[in-house]
Amino acid sequence: MLSYVLRSVFLGLATAAIVLVALPTIKARVQPFATPPSNLAELQVSFNDAVRNAAPAVVNIYSRQYLENDRTRLSTQGLGSGVIVSEKGYIITNYHVVAQADQILVALQDGRVAAAQLVGTDRRTDIAVLRVEGSSLPVIPQNPSYQAKVGDVVLAIGNPYNLGQTTTFGIISATGRSSISADGRQAFLQTDAAINEGNSGGALVNTQGELVGINTASFQQATELETYGISFAIPYQLAYKIMEKIIADGRVIRGYIGIDGQDINAVTARLLGNEHIGGIVVLGIDPNGPASKAGFSPQDIIISIDKHKVQGRQSVMDIVTDLRPGTTIDVGIIRQGKPLTLQVTIAEDPHRG
């Protein structure tokens, strides 16, 4: 009996030794238990640094409107937020925050209050630019190379219901949302961070405190539906570009060629070849616009602008609207299967924001 037990033990040890020699990765996978944190504080996640970096540059905006027959008596006072983006005192906010204002007051988080100058507005993008005078103004961190992605953590900072500066938390839920835009062209960021009355014009920032967008509306405000967790912001890059145009010209001057189009479908893209994926088919032409004068026809497929391949309808609109009126461009098209190049002289968009 003893010899049987000893033989079994020996065989078991020998088998274990053979397995460890033959499969050394097993040893590598056997790791000691991780040392537990000494206290729960090590497990906490905080965005305090991001808020401290960004919050001082987010201001409260009070837009006052006086009685028409008595300029000393206040009729209404609107509420919103804004973001200081320049040491020169430029502030980006929403157009609808200041649209009817006779006087605009800006309150900084350090207690300073100043009357703001309205530099200009752009209704199409719901952007307004203000300016205040002051020394050592806080400026929000900005990263022009940052690209918002679905799932990025973001914080919305503003002054909801005049409660005082408040920060809410969420993620980027979607990008390129245009369905709530009045003209279907405005591309919003969608977030589930709470944006309420008074948050409009405030900052949407990432976990570094860098400006991601300008908060503009909740889905409920836009549609009058009872919703939760659907809010929108204007992308930072677009807001900053609009601000620069307003500062330069006092308004936004957009290029215009006078076509309406849509992205080509997958079948058409395959027929044309992979090199033409991203093109758009022309559906309508303004009879008095530059495209009509240049000889465009319905069903033309635009594939390039100044030899640069286009990437869909939105990219064509972005390229054209950024061009100054009077600029001449070469537009590559395909008409009835044949490539052509048409020269178009950009006009100013008659549909001003």
- Give the Cβ contact number of residue 20 at 10 Å: 11
Which residue among 126, 263, 300, 349 is the active-site one? 126
Q: How far is CA 25 from the centre of its chain?
A: 47
Q: How far is CA 306 from the centre of its chain?
A: 27
351 part of the active site:
no
Token representation of residue 319: 């390229």
Which residue among 81, 96, 122, 300 is the active-site one? 96
Distance CA(258)–CA(255), nearest Å, equals 10
Report the candidate in 100, 105, 99, 108 with the shortest Cα–Cα distance to residue 117. 105
Instruction: Please say whether the beta carbons of 154 and 206 come within 8 A.
Output: yes
Which residue among 63, 173, 200, 218 is the active-site one? 200
Q: Which residue has the tokens 């053979």?
A: 18
Q: What is the helix (H) or strand (E) element at residue 216, kind and residue range?
A: strand 211-218
Distance CA(64)–CA(173), nearest Å, equals 34
In sequence order, the 6+-apart residues with CB closer than 8 A to the CB of 82 are 58, 59, 60, 61, 91, 92, 93, 97, 106, 130, 201, 202
Radius of gyration of the chain (CA): 29
Token representation of residue 28: 């590598």
Q: For 298-303, which contacts have Cβ atoms below 8 Å and span 24 or more sequence positions? A: 299/335, 300/333, 300/334, 300/335, 301/264, 301/268, 301/272, 301/276, 301/333, 301/334, 301/335, 302/259, 302/261, 302/331, 302/332, 302/333, 303/276, 303/278, 303/279, 303/332, 303/333, 303/334, 303/339
Written in H, E and C, the secondary structure of 54-95 is HHHHEEEEEEEEEECCEEEEEEEEEEEEEEECCCCCEEEEEH
**Which residues are known catalytic residues?**
96, 126, 200
